[in-house]
Structure 1
Amino acid sequence: MPPKTGLSKLFAVAFIVLTAAAIAGMVAMLIVYKTQIAEMNPTPRPTMPSTTMAPPPAMRLPRNLLPESYNIFIQLQLYIKIIEEVNVTSPNQTLLFSGNSTVHFHCVERTSRIYLHSNGPTVSAPRLIDKDTNELVKIDRYLHHEDESHFLELQLSEYLEAGRNYSLFLAFEGEMSENLEALYVSKYVESRFLAATNLEPTNARSLFPCFDEPDFKAVFYLTVIHRLETTALSNAPVSVSNIIDEEWKYTRFMATPRMSSYLLAFTVSEFTATDSPNSRITYSRPEATAAGHAVYAAKMTPKILEFYENHFDLRYPMKTLDQIALTDLEPLAMENWGLITYQEGALLYQEGVSSWLHKEDIVHIISHELAHQWFGNLVTMKWWNEVWLNEGFASYMSYLAVDNAEPSFQIKDTMIMSDLHSAFEEDALTSSHPLSTPLEEVQTTSQILGMFDAISYSKGAMVLRMLADFAMIIGILIGLVLFSQVRQEKGVFSIGTLMEKWTTQMGYPVITINTTNGEIHQKHFLYNNSTFCSSLFSLWWLIPIRYATKSSSPSLVWLDVRGPGNITTQQHKKLNYWILANVNCTGYYRVNYDPDNWQRLMTQLETNPNRIPLMNRGQLVDDAFNLARAELVNVTLALNSTRFLRHETAYLPWESAVRNLEYFVLMFDRSEVYGPMQVYLREQVKELYNFFRNYTDNSTVPEDHSLQHNQIIAIDVACSNGLPECIEMARSKFAGWMKSNDTNDIHTNLRAVIYCQAVAAGDKKEWEFAWEKFQSSTDTSEKDQLRKALACTKKTWLLSRYLEYTLDPDKIRLMDVASTVYFIAQNAAGQALAWNFIRANWDYVSQG
């Protein structure tokens, strides 16, 4: 098909688009959801050939045996409390665990070998039974493969026959991890301990022998033997819990639904419950529960869950939903079916200590994890190369859930732009990967872990958002409520056709519009512009365009783009003032213009920015800086795109500018350019700082959440670039805290930024005060704020000391080591220190 374009004024369509966006987005997502169910779940059992199964592939289990269920018994020797008092004999802590598992499986292809996964625990006493005859099947030998496959191979003296059912018993024993992997121990306040699991993606095999691949779904029956004073939680409700003797009890759980092995979870602790309606229970440390820190999460969870049930028209399938705030967890949260685990800071809200804005993070994280109860748990990708189907859907759905649960926050656009920019940055590198990466490139555990990145989460969400928007537009244009196909001049254009290139190729396009001659073309956007750019971005798309004249209000039209190369619009003569493409950033692409149009847009921003949608005000800045970084426009253009900020009070444009300028600061902080850059930023932010000054000086914040975010940016940019009144404010409030030992004069929203700027402007005295407060605080939010602030000092010897502290888990928790080093690396004074430290201590730092 030859290149074509067409501009048509669809004002009625534009109005319907804006008013029907939410409904159409839901419709499109449900279409994709329903079509994915068949593709993502394991296929039905294959027919049963009589031939012997060939040796397994290098890193994947053969499909000749299909697990049906597991019966797992496990005993933890862990002591929850170690008493350390004079004249009191305390036991030595033990991290040992032992148990056994019986996997019931169906043979679909004749074989004389059994392959499953086991990595770590010592396995013994194998016993294989033919369930159809109740006879033992002799095992000649069993061995572990000494490679990354983690295969446990059992060689049999006879064949397992297709169509028959078997059970395999294995005993195991091992040691709990102290590195937040598989079954691990967490030490917290006053020498107290808990045990928890973290099995995604390939750690189930480090707990018990199993078929540890996502499409080997099975039912799990778990029994945990644990200390008398502790409580055990798992995916399913408790079936029975009884005392064994004066030291031990056992807890047996009901059957889980059929699920992947990585979703199995249990915890053993003395944590206590905060109840919600309908058996939605949040667990936390007893003192945190008593202080009400879990109340906000307990309030939001049923609300979010109800939204998803109504949205998907599908009830949450489990009888209970437990959530637990763990003192240590390697990811921020994990969506285990029926028992979601969180880092404390991701779930607990502390009145009077936590920032008001911290509620946004909590409701966002809960929304993401609850979305997984459908996308990921109920419907699961076949293999980890498609993890974006889990994470992209959950990220996208969380926009809708948060907006429903806390509409007053009005943070949907902020969440979208955050994901858009995270995806853009990573996807512009030659090291990026497609959403759907070829199977052969995702085999080992390290390759699987590499898929959990901004591409799977953020790009996945952005492509789904783009699809939802596209589906809604086409549905309106062709008069269909639910569409699955759009006819073109040649053949049929389906959702699958549309999505294929977006999911199977890495990167994204930059669309260049020349308003002088009306030409438009697209090509692969990369930061390294000298790298070969593919021509795969030959997509058919409807690009929302807003254009204006000096005398008229902006109008919305749709640009029909078909095929690669140059495309000429016949209406370009009408565009005699400015044109703005990708209105509200619905498309996953950047936009470049000819210099004249860039200048007209910047003039519009400086004279009346409200004529340009808020999301686009931020995106114009982001596009300009990143196009400059790729040497597609002049750096001067990028810097000029920030001139309008002097009179801007909205958050998104400022966030975009500050984030992009951080790259320039990193490039120029030791050059003569840095001084003039600071002067410019100081002048640009002065009006914004003064806009919030009455709030800041009186330790108050605006009601609007967006403005609350921007108040923090105003203080950060003003103090960082030497605005005297800002530095004096931070010093004064911090000094008041040091004198009175009372933080009431610093609003909880502003503590993190004021702590940081005061420590940056201070000396040893301020740093050591902050360190002492960090060590003595039991408040998760306060500790996180102080831990970041300690990295703000300009004294290299203090930063060096701080880096050394990260090697001591009694000073810096293992899960916080990587982020602490990152905070130090963001500081110009700490970049070289952090780099040398990471190289010298990689084995320890990488554990967190």
Structure 2
Amino acid sequence: MARLILVFVFMFSSIFINILVISPLHLRKTSSSVGDNEGTYRLPNNTKPEAYDLFISTDIADGVFDFSGVVKINVTIIEESNQITLHKYGLDIQTADLTSTEGEAIPIHPPQYDLRRDFVIFKTVNDIFAPGETIILEIKYKAKLREDNYGFYRSHYYIDEENIDDGFDNIITYGKKRWLATTHFEPTYARRAFPCYDEPALKATFDIQISHSSNYTAISNMPQMERKISGSRAITRFQQSPLMSTYTVAFIVSDFSYKEKIGSNGFRHRIYAQPDKIDRLTFVLEKSEQILTTLSNYLEVNYTLPKMDQAAIPNFPSFAAAMENWGLITYSRPFLLYDEEVVIIISHEFAHQWFGNLVTPSWWNYLWLSEGLATLFQLIGTDLVQPDRQIFTKFVRNEMHSAFLYDASFRSQPLNAYKESPAAIKADFDDIVFYKSSSVLRMFMHAFTENSFRKGLNAYKAVTDIDLFESLERAVKEDGSLDKEMSVKEIFSSWSDQSGFPLLIVTRNYSDNTIQITQERYFHEAKHAEANLTSWWIPYNFDTANNIAMNDTRPDGWQKEPNPKLSSQRSIKTGHQTIGYFLMDNKLDSIAFFMMNEITR
């Protein structure tokens, strides 16, 4: 869906002004957000996981949808307590045992369930744990592979597939059905596969084993350590993972084939798909290796896992094209095998290996940090490996415009929008999180200079927006790319902590030869009372009539004051190359003509 953004250039005397225009007729309303009205959904802070040892057994090869599991969790006590609270959903717990690290049994009551919050609570009979203690919780459970494409779910494809029109405009697929089991855990669906601490900040290591038909293979985030075959069964064991969030864990049991490429340093790329689709993977494999290397070099941070697997899944969550599971990225089959935009999609998921997996937001209100940076780096990665695509031009015309449409409603939410319930969290995967955040980040990449921005990201190791601001602050002050009296936190938070975006209004006073800039929040509906209650730090550029530096996107100044006045002896362009995330209007007596800027990084 292409939307055209036109930049108007108004000429009068020696003054040029770039204006971004959006027709209100094409603006759409946002739906009301899903609220959290029933108390906290957060786990208590009294314990945290250190390590998971997970064993899953499935007979998906035979079309059996029941599965069983055993999970052992090494739990560290944070606050004095006699209970452990985990997440679980749709799992039938058979037994639960608690032991000390020396193997001594610790008596516990039968588990209690809080169905509204997906909690399972284990309380001791007598013991009270002290901070710093480590205990081991072992849970045996049973469940069914889900049908809704979330959690640990079943999927299928057809051998000798044939699509036939039934005469009523319905396409029916015939062939031999082949089953597979796969996962999708983001944002809150790991709890549907095993009991766990299903919050992004509660990272732990994972040792995973899967029992399955010997005719099938199992893959996971880490490389296979061993595969033991006994009759018709196999047990595949994987290497221990680094510290991971539960939503980035993944495993697949299937009869997929793969195409492989081993790099000069021994690094392994594999792409898995149903056997009759393997011939479509050559281009994807070649570009995957190129993109991962390019992003590693650009960020100057190595990809940290020993392999990269990708898989084309026949049935996939409807709202997603792919999922960035660490070291095992899953894709909706059409997007990986048939989509001409596959390089963009791969770049986005690969960017998540740094932004989201290695550096993980502490809670979902910071989702925009990982999704915004991944969307920005899908542009950078694609531009570096396919520079002829003019990917930034397309971004402005499509995704950035989409963010404006979404953000022009008084119901729009800030980037930092705190939610707790699974329904509210899922609803936040919207144009604000993906496209507004990447547009704002792109604006600051230019305002702070690309080198300083990259240096800040290189040092960004923690999990909140403040951590990012502090990393950028150090970088811009070291490089001198921001005035010493200015604060990255103050500038950036004016965009992340409030809804909407600014409309700049520019007027010329001919009597004193000045230009006056005012700003207000833009609404596509009737002007709202909040229009004049918010303001943003806005980077702008000055040009003279004889020196128009369109390729220099460093700001000459920042607009925050309500009514700054500027000398009209110079021309003003508020954001070269359509970099800024704002609109501009003018009250100037001028002659207008059209000009489309070539958008570059």
* TM-score for both structures, normalised by structure 1: 0.58
Task: Sort the Cα spacing of 1:568 and 1:529 in 2 relative to 1 into closer, same or farther, 3 A.
Answer: farther
Aligned positions of 1:644-659 closer than 5 A? none
Task: Sort the Cα spacing of 1:371 and 1:561 in 2 relative to 1 into closer, same or farther, 3 A.
Answer: closer
Which structure has greater strand proportion?
2
Instruction: Letter of the 1:209 partner, please give it.
Output: P
CA distance in 2, matches of 1:223, 1:307: 33
Q: Quote the offset at 1:555 in angstroms.
A: 6.1
1:59 maps onto 2:41 in alignment: yes
Question: Taking CA–CA contacts closer than 8 Å with sequence separation of 6 or more, which of the two structures ends up with the larger relative contact order?
Answer: 2
Give 3-state SS (helix, strand or coil) of 2:75's partner.
strand
Question: Contact 2:415/2:496 (CA < 8 Å) preserved in 1?
Answer: yes
CA distance in 1, matches of 2:254, 2:46: 39
Partner of 2:385: 405
CA distance in 2, matches of 1:258, 1:374: 13
1:153 maps onto 2:121 in alignment: yes
Partner of 1:315: 302
Aligned positions of 1:557-706 closer than 5 A? 560-571=557-568, 581-594=574-587, 596-597=589-590, 600-601=591-592, 604-605=593-594, 609=595, 613-615=597-599
Partner of 2:527: 530
Question: Contact 1:582/1:591 (CA < 8 Å) preserved in 2?
Answer: no
Question: Contact 2:399/2:435 (CA < 8 Å) preserved in 1?
Answer: yes
Equivalent of 1:305, from 292, 305, 317?
A: 292
Instruction: Letter of the 2:40 partner, please give it.
Output: A
Q: Quote the offset at 1:473 in angstroms.
A: 9.2
Question: Contact 2:218/2:251 (CA < 8 Å) preserved in 1?
Answer: yes
CA distance in 2, matches of 1:105, 1:251: 25
CA distance in 2, matches of 1:559, 1:303: 37
CA distance in 2, matches of 1:473, 1:97: 50
Task: Sort the Cα spacing of 1:135 and 1:403 in 2 relative to 1 into closer, same or farther, 3 A.
Answer: same
Equivalent of 2:50, from 63, 68, 90?
A: 68
Task: Sort the Cα spacing of 1:510 and 1:195 in 2 relative to 1 into closer, same or farther, 3 A.
Answer: same
Give 3-state SS (helix, strand or coil) of 1:325's partner.
strand
Instruction: Letter of the 1:397 partner, please give it.
Output: F
Give 3-state SS (helix, strand or coil) of 1:205's partner.
helix
1:252 maps onto 2:237 in alignment: yes
Aligned positions of 1:289-688 closer than 5 A? 289=278, 292-330=279-317, 331-349=320-338, 358-359=339-340, 361-437=341-417, 439=418, 442-472=419-449, 482-483=479-480, 486-487=483-484, 492-515=485-508, 517=510, 518-535=515-532, 537-544=534-541, 548=545, 554=548, 560-571=557-568, 581-594=574-587, 596-597=589-590, 600-601=591-592, 604-605=593-594, 609=595, 613-615=597-599
Number of matched residues? 514
Residue-by-residue CA offset, 1:802-833 (whole Å, 9 max, x unaligned): xxxxxxxxxxxxxxxxxxxxxxxxxxxxxxxx
Residue-by-residue CA offset, 1:662-710 (whole Å, 9 max, x unaligned): xxxxxxxxxxxxxxxxxxxxxxxxxxxxxxxxxxxxxxxxxxxxxxxxx
Question: Contact 1:329/1:342 (CA < 8 Å) preserved in 2?
Answer: yes
Instruction: Letter of the 1:363 partner, please give it.
Output: V
Question: Contact 1:417/1:615 (CA < 8 Å) preserved in 2?
Answer: no
Question: Contact 1:119/1:206 (CA < 8 Å) preserved in 2?
Answer: yes
Question: Contact 1:545/1:583 (CA < 8 Å) preserved in 2?
Answer: no
Task: Sort the Cα spacing of 1:134 and 1:474 in 2 relative to 1 into closer, same or farther, 3 A.
Answer: closer
Question: Contact 2:508/2:516 (CA < 8 Å) preserved in 1?
Answer: yes
Q: Quote the offset at 1:186 in angstroms.
A: 1.2
Residue-by-residue CA offset, 1:604-652 (whole Å, 9 max, x unaligned): 32xxx4xx52459xxxxxxxxxxxxxxxxxxxxxxxxxxxxxxxxxxxx
Q: Quote the offset at 1:560 in angstroms.
A: 3.3
Residue-by-residue CA offset, 1:423-447 (whole Å, 9 max, x unaligned): 111111122111112x3xx010011
Partner of 1:782: none
Task: Sort the Cα spacing of 1:426 and 1:526 in 2 relative to 1 into closer, same or farther, 3 A.
Answer: same
Q: Quote the offset at 1:538 in angstroms.
A: 3.2
Residue-by-residue CA offset, 1:439-463 (whole Å, 9 max, x unaligned): 3xx0100111122111111111111
Give 3-state SS (helix, strand or coil) of 1:191's partner.
strand
CA distance in 1, matches of 2:452, 2:179: 56
CA distance in 2, matches of 1:100, 1:470: 51
Give 3-state SS (helix, strand or coil) of 1:424's partner.
helix
Task: Sort the Cα spacing of 1:108 and 1:484 in 2 relative to 1 into closer, same or farther, 3 A.
Answer: farther
CA distance in 2, matches of 1:581, 1:501: 17
Aligned positions of 1:128-207 closer than 5 A? 128-131=98-101, 133-147=102-116, 149-157=117-125, 158-189=127-158, 190-207=176-193
Question: Contact 2:452/2:481 (CA < 8 Å) preserved in 1?
Answer: no
Question: Contact 1:77/1:97 (CA < 8 Å) preserved in 2?
Answer: yes
Instruction: Letter of the 2:77 partner, please give it.
Output: C
Task: Sort the Cα spacing of 1:62 and 1:242 in 2 relative to 1 into closer, same or farther, 3 A.
Answer: same
Q: Quote the offset at 1:344 in angstroms.
A: 1.4
CA distance in 2, matches of 1:536, 1:399: 34
Uncovered stretches (5+) of structure 2, i.e. residues with no partner: 1-13, 15-37, 159-175, 454-474
Partner of 1:270: 255
Task: Sort the Cα spacing of 1:115 and 1:480 in 2 relative to 1 into closer, same or farther, 3 A.
Answer: closer
Question: Contact 1:332/1:346 (CA < 8 Å) preserved in 2?
Answer: yes
CA distance in 1, matches of 2:433, 2:483: 27
Instruction: Letter of the 1:193 partner, please give it.
Output: W
Q: Quote the offset at 1:530 in angstroms.
A: 3.0
Aligned positions of 1:36-51 closer than 5 A? none
Give 3-state SS (helix, strand or coil) of 1:276's partner.
strand
CA distance in 1, matches of 2:240, 2:452: 43
Task: Sort the Cα spacing of 1:483 and 1:435 in 2 relative to 1 into closer, same or farther, 3 A.
Answer: farther
Q: Quote the offset at 1:553 in angstroms.
A: 7.7
Q: Quote the offset at 1:547 in angstroms.
A: 6.8
Question: Contact 1:231/1:268 (CA < 8 Å) preserved in 2?
Answer: yes
Task: Sort the Cα spacing of 1:475 and 1:107 in 2 relative to 1 into closer, same or farther, 3 A.
Answer: closer
Give 3-state SS (helix, strand or coil) of 2:82's partner.
strand
Instruction: Letter of the 1:310 partner, please give it.
Output: N
Question: Contact 1:100/1:172 (CA < 8 Å) preserved in 2?
Answer: yes
* TM-score for both structures, normalised by structure 2: 0.81
Question: Contact 1:326/1:342 (CA < 8 Å) preserved in 2?
Answer: yes
CA distance in 1, matches of 2:124, 2:476: 63
Q: Quote the offset at 1:596 in angstroms.
A: 3.4
Partner of 1:119: 89
CA distance in 2, matches of 1:164, 1:104: 10
Partner of 2:214: 228
CA distance in 2, matches of 1:536, 1:504: 14
Question: Contact 2:155/2:314 (CA < 8 Å) preserved in 1?
Answer: yes
CA distance in 1, matches of 2:598, 2:300: 33
Instruction: Letter of the 1:421 partner, please give it.
Output: H
Give 3-state SS (helix, strand or coil) of 1:159's partner.
coil
Question: Contact 2:495/2:536 (CA < 8 Å) preserved in 1?
Answer: no
Which structure has greater helix proportion?
1
CA distance in 1, matches of 2:509, 2:313: 59
- Tell me the percent identity: 29
CA distance in 2, matches of 1:457, 1:475: 23
Give 3-state SS (helix, strand or coil) of 1:505's partner.
coil
Q: Quote the offset at 1:276 in angstroms.
A: 1.9
Q: Quote the offset at 1:249 in angstroms.
A: 1.1
Instruction: Letter of the 1:261 partner, please give it.
Output: T
